């Protein structure tokens, strides 16, 4: 991936070629259909020894249309984004569980960008093709009391430090487990419009008023630190129609994300790199790491308006699991039931929880602690919706690939 290491702007010779990604599981590209590169490669390079708070000119941690672009790109140009870990350098290889209470959650999701894509305007679709994703060599997964899908019962902290080598993640805190590399960006997004910022903030406030969980705007630790982007900017925790924290693990190399454009230039940003993740990311962390990402932009004029596309779409060359995870698996079946046996008719969350709790039991039967089992579920177990029509019980399957366990 030498081209990702170049200067901010460099020219290519006419003989340079770009490679069309077809199969991608380890952040690599299988070379198939050759064609000439765009004229330039541009990049947003960061100082990873510093946090976004210390280098605010390279990114942001709120969504707002007033955030100025870091770079301008032409359609067809290949652009490199260097990204930080999801908690803005608050996790390090020296971090321990006792550090959790002292972390600033308002700094979560330092994004790199935005990039202004010339020619993109409201009503268009912005196609973002992921050409390469290179991860760091260290990552983390935390079980943080009060966070995650089982926040009401998981009250013992655990921090897994992962070593990322030779295509696998291993951790002394979760012995006997090897997680194969399948890197993707947890967050990719375009900017919302001013009207959307106000409307989405209101609907989330309404949800909170009804007893739901929501993250209202908060200027503390915001980047940018002042102005409307800090005061009104939407938090990056929930995904929305502009993309954001979608955490779709199929957004690997070779995928194409299609974003409806809401403001001129689209203003694309990315961050929250994951070495690997289970479908569900149930403890709130995947295998969290920094990344260097290469993308290419294409503007589809008027397509969002013409086809009434209001939320992002994803295209990939194939739908298949990592071939290293094929083979034997174990699964637990979740129904729309609470722990005491109460039937919660047609409730998908209850079915997810039911399957997940049984998977924790299965992994504890194999000698893992409950906290270790929770980490394994978050980074490797896939929650699959099996059926939503057989009322009162929906079915969710928690699938555990046996290949992650070292022989």
CB atoms within 10 A of CB 402: 10
Q: Note the pLDDT tens digit of each residue in 288-304.
A: 999 999 999 999 999 99
Indicate whether 123 and 8 sit together in one domain: yes
CATH assignment of the domain containing 356? 3.10.28.20
Q: What are phi and psi of 301, to 5 degrees?
A: -65, 125
Indicate whether 66 and 138 sit together in one domain: yes
Collapsing DSSP to helix, strand or coil, 342 comes out as coil
On the question of pLDDT at 35 being above 70, the answer is: no
Domain region containing 361: 327-404
Instruction: Provide the 8-state DSSP code for 156.
Output: S
Q: Is the peptide bond before 224 cis (omega within 30 degrees of 0)?
A: yes
More confident residue, 20 or 309: 309
Q: Note the pLDDT tens digit of each residue in 14-34.
A: 233 233 332 333 343 322 233
Indicate whether 298 and 261 sit together in one domain: yes
Q: Which among 273, 294, 315 is the end of a domain? A: 315
Instruction: Report pTM.
Output: 0.89
Percent pLDDT > 90 in the chain is 86
Indicate whether 247 and 99 sit together in one domain: yes
Q: Which among 294, 315, 336 is the end of a domain? A: 315
Q: Which among 315, 344, 367 is the end of a domain? A: 315
**Which residue is listed with tokens 């969290």?**
288
CATH assignment of the domain containing 73? 2.60.120.580
On the question of pLDDT at 258 being above 90, the answer is: yes
**Of the candidate ranges 128-142, 187-201, 321-335, 388-402, the one whose mean pLDDT is the lowest:** 321-335
Total domains present in the chain = 2
């Amino acid at each position: 991936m030498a081209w990702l290491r170049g200067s901010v702007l460099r020219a290519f010779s006419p003989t340079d070629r770009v490679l069309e990604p077809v199969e991608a599981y380890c952040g690599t590209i299988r070379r198939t259909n050759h064609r000439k590169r765009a004229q330039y490669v541009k990049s947003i390079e960061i100082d990873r020894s510093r946090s976004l708070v210390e280098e605010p000119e390279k990114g942001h941690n709120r969504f707002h249309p007033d955030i100025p672009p870091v770079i301008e790109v032409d359609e067809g140009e290949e652009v490199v984004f260097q990204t930080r870990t999801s908690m803005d350098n608050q996790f390090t290889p020296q971090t321990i569980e006792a550090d959790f209470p002292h972390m600033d959650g308002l700094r979560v999701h330092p994004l790199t960008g935005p990039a202004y894509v010339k020619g993109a305007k409201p009503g268009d679709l912005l196609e973002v093709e992921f050409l390469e994703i290179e991860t760091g060599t260290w990552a983390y997964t935390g079980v943080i009391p009060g966070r995650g899908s089982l926040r009401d019962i998981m009250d013992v902290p655990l921090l897994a430090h992962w070593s990322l080598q030779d295509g696998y993640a291993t951790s002394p805190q979760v012995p006997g487990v090897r997680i194969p590399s399948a890197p993707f960006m947890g967050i990719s997004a375009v900017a919302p419009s001013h009207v959307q910022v106000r409307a989405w903030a209101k609907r989330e406030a309404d949800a909170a008023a009804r007893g739901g969980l929501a993250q209202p705007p908060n200027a503390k630790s915001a980047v940018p630190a002042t102005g409307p982007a800090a005061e009104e900017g939407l938090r990056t925790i929930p995904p929305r129609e502009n993309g954001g924290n979608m955490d779709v693990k199929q957004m690997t190399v070779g995928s194409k994300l299609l974003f409806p454009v809401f403001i001129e230039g689209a203003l694309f940003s990315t961050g929250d790199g994951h070495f690997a993740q289970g479908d569900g990311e149930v403890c709130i962390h995947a295998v969290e790491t920094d990344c260097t990402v290469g993308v290419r932009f294409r503007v589809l004029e008027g397509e969002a308006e013409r086809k009434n596309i209001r939320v992002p779409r994803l295209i990939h060359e194939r739908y298949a699991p990592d071939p290293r995870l094929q083979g034997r698996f174990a699964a637990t079946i979740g129904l729309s039931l609470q722990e005491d046996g109460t039937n919660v008719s047609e409730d998908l969350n209850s079915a997810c929880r039911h399957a997940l709790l049984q998977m924790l039991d299965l992994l504890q039967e194999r000698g893992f602690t409950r906290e270790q089992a929770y980490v394994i579920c978050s980074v490797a177990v896939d929650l699959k919706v099996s059926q939503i029509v057989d009322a009162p019980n929906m079915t969710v399957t928690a699938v555990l690939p046996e290949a992650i366990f070292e022989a």
